[in-house]
């Protein structure tokens, strides 16, 4: 049921959910299973259930068409020095269903150790890889210490890079020649050290009263790719480029791939120079941002925004239940994890309601 704004504001709601996205609707569905509970959902985007768009969301074969559409907030990062001054698009869903409506139909979960790392004390880990350990020591962040464990010689770490070999030219920076067939070896960094910030845009003091910040003013997104602790991300991806060459020169791929066209072979520069510059100049994002309202863990509000029950520190009656509470990335597409967070969050809300 939909309501005009004044009717909606007059409802006697038990819970108000801001954002009808992937997690928000799942939480709303679970809480509203109790007929005695009134739940309201506020969403800036439309519903896509009437099929007036021709099924751009609901027809599997049209996946990807929602990117850059009216269902997309069409966010973008600020210029990134670590990427040669480029700005990258950050698609986010502006529709009931949120970014799951923009998703490429991917569904997988992370390794169990990915989720265990959200609660395991970083002090239990030692013998870290030299560079990663120095980053963790310099920043003093427990999360960086957990990431550094990936590089310990004694660690049974999950793969730092996901490789995907697929037909077609996936690069927005390389133009295919007519009549030629291409394949792309994608490399996705799973556990990055790069971290930045997202803020509402600053107010113009001269026009603050006449032109206040609204929902249509896009946030300032600065991931700080490859900067500070993220420098190791650049090195990892450059090393991954070398391994990509080896993979493509190994049977059976060597019998299918005639040669590398991008980055082009360079007989003058070293591989380290070629790959390092290539990573800086042509890396794009695989999306899946997390952590802007991360769980604080054992250090509480000093390192996070919400506690282990997703309650915002210092604010009564407010929780965050979505990908932003994840303190560390998982080595998988995050949609399944977001649904799991929503289910767990709804269960905790119901448990706490019974104790009131």
Distance CA 353, CA 334 (A): 28
What tens digit of pLDDT does each residue of 33-52 get? 999 999 999 999 998 877 77
pLDDT at 158 over 90: no
Question: Is residue 280, in this structure, part of any structural domain at all?
Answer: yes
Which range marks the domain in which residue 171 is found? 158-201+218-290
Per-residue three-class SS string for 31-98 = HCCCCCCCEEEECCCCCCCCCCCCCCCCCHHHCCCCCCCCCECCEEECCEHHHCCECCEECCECCCCH
Distance CA 237, CA 275 (A): 8
Question: Is residue 339, in this structure, part of any structural domain at all?
Answer: no
Backbone dihedral angles phi then psi of residue 113, each to the nearest 5 degrees? -65, -25
Q: What is the pLDDT of residue 128?
A: 32
Q: What is the pLDDT of residue 126?
A: 39
Question: Is residue 151, in this structure, part of any structural domain at all?
Answer: no
Question: Is residue 6, in this structure, part of any structural domain at all?
Answer: no
Do residues 322 and 341 make contact, with C-beta atoms less than 8 angstroms apart? yes
State the pTM of this model: 0.84
Do residues 185 and 167 make contact, with C-beta atoms less than 8 angstroms apart? no
Q: Which of 39, 46, 32 is nearest to 14 (CA)?
A: 39
Do residues 291 and 303 make contact, with C-beta atoms less than 8 angstroms apart? no
Q: Which of 246, 249, 229, 337 is nearest to 291 (CA)?
A: 337
Question: Is residue 4, in this structure, part of any structural domain at all?
Answer: no
Question: Is residue 212, in this structure, part of any structural domain at all?
Answer: no
Using alpha carbons only, give the angle 79, 85, 88 rounded to the nearest 5 degrees: 50
The total number of structural domains that make up the chain: 1
Classify 161 as helix, strand or coil: strand
Do residues 56 and 65 make contact, with C-beta atoms less than 8 angstroms apart? yes
Count of CB atoms situated within 10 Å of the CB of 111: 15
What is the average per-residue pLDDT within 283-295?
92
Mean model confidence pLDDT for the chain = 85
Question: Is residue 282, in this structure, part of any structural domain at all?
Answer: yes
Question: Is residue 278, in this structure, part of any structural domain at all?
Answer: yes
What tens digit of pLDDT does each residue of 197-208 get? 999 998 776 665
Q: What is the pLDDT of residue 132?
A: 64
Confidence of residue 275 (pLDDT cuts 50, 70, 90): confident
């Amino acid at each position: 049921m939909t309501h005009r704004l004044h009717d909606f504001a007059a409802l006697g709601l038990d819970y108000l959910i801001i954002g009808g996205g992937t997690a928000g609707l799942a939480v709303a569905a679970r809480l509203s299973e109790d007929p005695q509970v009134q739940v309201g959902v506020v969403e800036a985007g439309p519903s896509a259930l009437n099929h007036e768009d021709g099924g751009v969301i609901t027809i599997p074969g049209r996946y990807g068409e929602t990117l850059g559409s009216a269902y997309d907030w069409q966010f973008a990062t600020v210029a990134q020095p670590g990427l040669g001054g480029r700005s990258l698009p950050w698609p986010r869903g502006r529709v009931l269903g949120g970014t799951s409506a923009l998703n490429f139909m991917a569904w997988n979960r992370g390794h169990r150790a990915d989720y265990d790392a959200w609660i395991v004390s970083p002090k239990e880990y030692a013998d870290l890889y030299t560079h990663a350990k120095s980053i963790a020591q310099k920043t003093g962040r427990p999360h960086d210490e957990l990431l550094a464990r990936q590089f310990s010689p004694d660690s049974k770490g999950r793969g730092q890079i996901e490789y995907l070999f697929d037909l077609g030219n996936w690069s927005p920076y390389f133009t295919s020649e007519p009549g030629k067939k291409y394949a792309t070896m994608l490399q996705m960094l799973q556990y990055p050290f790069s971290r930045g910030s997202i803020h509402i845009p600053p107010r113009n003091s001269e026009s603050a009263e006449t032109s206040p910040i609204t929902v249509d003013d896009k946030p300032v997104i600065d991931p700080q790719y490859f900067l500070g602790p993220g420098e190791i991300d650049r090195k990892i991806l450059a090393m991954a480029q070398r391994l990509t060459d080896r993979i493509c020169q190994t049977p059976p791929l060597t019998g299918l791939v005639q040669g590398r066209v991008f980055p082009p072979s360079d007989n003058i520069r070293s591989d380290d120079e070629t790959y390092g510059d290539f990573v800086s100049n042509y890396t794009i994002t695989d999306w899946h941002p997390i952590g802007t309202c991360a769980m604080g863990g054992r250090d509480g509000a000093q390192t996070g925004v919400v506690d282990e029950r997703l309650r915002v520190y210092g604010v009564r009656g407010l929780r965050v239940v979505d990908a932003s509470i994840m303190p560390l990335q998982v080595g998988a597409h995050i949609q399944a994890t977001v649904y799991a967070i929503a289910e767990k969050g709804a269960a905790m809300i119901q448990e706490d309601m019974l104790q009131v």
